[in-house]
Amino acid sequence: MPLPSKEQQLESVSSEIHQLSMRRQQLNDRLDLLAMLKKFGKNVGFQEEGEEFTKEEETEKIVEELKHLSERKRELQVKKDALEHNLVQLQGCTFSPAPLDGPDTPTSFGSQIFYVDKPPSYPAPQVILDVQKLPPHASQTQCPFCEQYVTTEISSVTGNTTWLVCMVCTFICCIAGCCLIPFCTDSFKDIVHKCPKCRSQIHTCKKM
C-alpha cells in the first residue's frame, strides 16, 4: 500500500487541528454554562445535595481534557509547519532577501515580492503571568483555572478601605449622609479581576 503524499498528510493534519479547535470551543462553552449555573444557584440560594460536587468534578474533567487537547494541538501544529516547509522545498521555491536599504524593504520569495513593514512605534502588549502583580485595570494574563491567555474583566467591590473611609467620615461628624460617599465611588473600592472565558475570579487588587 503506497504511503500518503505530503499533501494528503498536510490535509489530514489540518483537518484534525480543525476538529480539535471545535472540540475546545465546545468544552469552553460548557465551562461557561457550568459557571453560570453555579453562580445562579448561589444567588437564589438553591443547591441540590451532591449537585455542587458533580459540577466541580465535571469542571475538573473538562479542564483536564482541555490540557490534553492543547498539547495535541501544539504537536499537530509543529507537524503541519514541517510539512508546509517540506512542500515549499519540493516545489522549488527559494527565499532570497534583497539588500536592506530601508524600513520597507522588498524581499523575493520565488516569483513574488513581499514588503516587510517596519515594527509599530508602540510597545507590544505585556502579558503578566504572575496574577499577584496584576494592576488595577484590565490586563492580559494566563488564567490559572482554564489556562487560556485572556484580557481580564474588572469590577469594583466594597473592601476594607471603603469601610475605613466611611468610619473616618462618621467620626469627624459628617452630616447629610456624606459618610456614604466612599460606597458611591470606585476610588475607595477594591478591584476584582475575572477571566472572561471560565468566569473565575483571578485576583483582587486591594486598596490597602
**How many angstroms separate the first and last alpha carbons of the chain?**
71
Question: 87 Cβ partners below 8 Å, 6+ apart?
Answer: 6, 7, 10
Enclosing domain of residue 145? 127-205
Whether 173 is covered by a domain: the verdict is: yes
**Is residue 102, in this structure, part of any structural domain at all?**
no
Cell of 105: 524593504
Q: Total domain count for the chain?
A: 2
* Cβ–Cβ under 8 Å, residues 169 and 182: yes
Q: Which of 30-34, 85-89, 192-196 has the lowest mean pLDDT?
A: 85-89
pLDDT by residue (tens digit) across 138-197? Answer: 888 988 888 888 999 998 888 888 788 877 777 776 566 677 777 777 778 889 999 998
CA distance linking residue 96 with residue 108, whole number of Å: 6
Q: Are residues 13 and 83 in the same domain?
A: yes
CB atoms within 10 A of CB 183: 13
One-letter amino acid at 4 equals P
141: part of which helix (H) or strand (E)?
A: strand 140-142
Q: 131 with 68, same domain?
A: no
Same domain, residue pair 15 and 87: yes
Q: How far apart are CA 27 and CA 66, in angstroms?
A: 7
